[in-house]
Chain A
Amino acid sequence: MQEKENVLRILQETKAAIRDNDSLKLKELSNQTIHTASIAQDPDNIAVAVAVYSLSKIVERKEYRTFTGWENFYKNILFAVDNSIIAIRKNDDRKLKESLMSIRKSVSKLSGKLKGYIQDVFRKAEINKASKIYEHGISMEKTASLLGITMFELASYAGQKPDGEAPLSKTIDVKTRIKTAMDMFK
């Protein structure tokens, strides 16, 4: 994993934010993970980005706490975050990988409506993080493959986000490109 110190800090703050039910803080922490995830493209960095963003959404939706299974899910998540922190401190990459995976696995232990809702949160978090990585300049296909989503999902999501880099994305003037296309159809 890259930038372990930074990820350690993010996970420590994540733990505190979960306890405080602070979804805004979690969202902010999730955004801090995306630069490294874009550059290093390390699965563990990406897993942290997806997990922290998912947790921000889960904490935000207070109604989830009323569903059966919430208590155990909440405990399992905190336990997995704790284990991830310990693994980074011990420099134990294998344990870190397992702990990060167990955040995701805790969803499979759920049942009923809560399971469906939280699975959906994680799926959408993957698409959201993919669109962020794509915004950072990584290609659509590469990004989709890193996050394990399809290009169909990424294309429609990314297309609906405002393109703040529009001036930089323009390379050839409109007339020239249209002419290039038109000439091929002559």
Chain B
Amino acid sequence: MKTIIFDSSTLINFAINGLLQEFRELKKLFDGKFLITREIVGEIIDKPIKIKRFELEALKLKELITDRILEMPSALGIDENKISKKTNEIMNVANNTFFGQGNAIHIIDVGEASCLALSRLLNEKEIKNLISVDERTVRLLCEKPENLFAIFQKKLHTDLKFKKENFRNFKEFKFIRSTELIYIAYKKGIIQLRNHQNVLDALLYAMKLNGCSISDDEISEMKRL
């Protein structure tokens, strides 16, 4: 069994760009499960469904669950209570890692932490998994926390500290972004566009401009692969 865990940021990106059909096609190609946590359901469906401007996207995302494109962790026998417990543990460590002006800087919230918690539980069960997250903070915290600290230093102009021993708590996680997923969709020929010369460019920039943390240089490199 293998799984991809989805953070709100990736799903919102596909929804805003009108690429949920392509998302469904990606699932058909994937011999495993696309998972989301209860906390992410709150972010992508329960809250936006009450706002007229985002009601349609929320309904379309809800359909993904109804159609079992996205599944809850219980589909793999993972207990919600265990996720909640691990989520709190992860939030507690993450939000007590960087300090400024005598305060612990709260860097992540419950949805993002729940993705890490689910990944950790899957790792314990030796189930291969990736987390798809478009926003940069969680990815930086896990992949290069020194860079996150450098951003704080550059932006906050104050005396900052970090607990280096906490960094190892986040080393086990592996990440992709919506840009890698749409790249695969393009390469597998499931994009519903005629083969114009600039389709990949358009797809990657659409993802970037709706919140995927990817640089222009990275996009150029992806196009050359």
Interface residues of A (CB under 8 A from B): 2-3, 35-36, 38-41, 134-142, 145, 150-152, 154-156, 158-160, 163, 165-172, 174-175, 177-178, 180-182, 184-185
Contact = CB atoms under 8 A, between A and B. Distances in A.
Contacts of B167: none
B85 interface: no
Closest 8 CB pairs of A and B: A155-B211, A166-B215, A140-B135, A139-B137, A171-B143, A181-B180, A142-B109, A141-B109
A39 B101 contact: yes
Interface string B8-42: 11001101100000000010011010000000000
Given A35-B155, A35-B158, A184-B30, A150 B16 contact: no
Interface string B149-169: 011101111100000000000
Contacts of B135: 134, 139-141, 155
Given A155-B9, A159-B211, A180 B51 contact: no
A39 B158 contact: yes
Contacts of A2: 101, 103
Given A35-B157, A168-B150, A177-B180, 9 more contacts: A35-B155, A134-B137, A136-B152, A152-B57, A155-B134, A169-B215, A171-B140, A172-B143, A174-B222
B191 interface: no
A39 B99 CA distance: 8
Interface string B124-162: 000010100011111110011001101110111110000
B176 A139 contact: no
A135 B213 CA distance: 11
Contact of B213 (A40, A169, A181): A169
Interface string B103-125: 10111111110000000000000
7 contacts: A138-B105, A150-B54, A155-B9, A155-B210, A169-B136, A184-B128, A184-B130
Contact of B107 (A35, A135, A138, A166): A138
A174 B13 contact: no
Contacts of B215: 163, 166-167, 169-170
B151 A36 contact: no
Given A141-B135, A155-B12, A168 B225 contact: no
A32 to B, nearest CB: 10
B128 to A, nearest CB: 7
A154 B156 CA distance: 21
B80 to A, nearest CB: 19
A137 B148 contact: yes
B209 A141 contact: no
A177 B184 CA distance: 12
A168 to B, nearest CB: 4
Interface in B23-72: 26, 29-30, 32, 43-44, 47-48, 51, 53-54, 57
Given A156-B16, A181-B184, A39 B100 contact: yes
Given A139-B108, A170-B215, A159 B209 contact: yes
B4 interface: yes
A185 B222 contact: no
Max chain B C-beta neighbours (<10 A), residue from A155, A156, A172: A155
Given A159-B209, A159-B211, A140 B103 contact: no
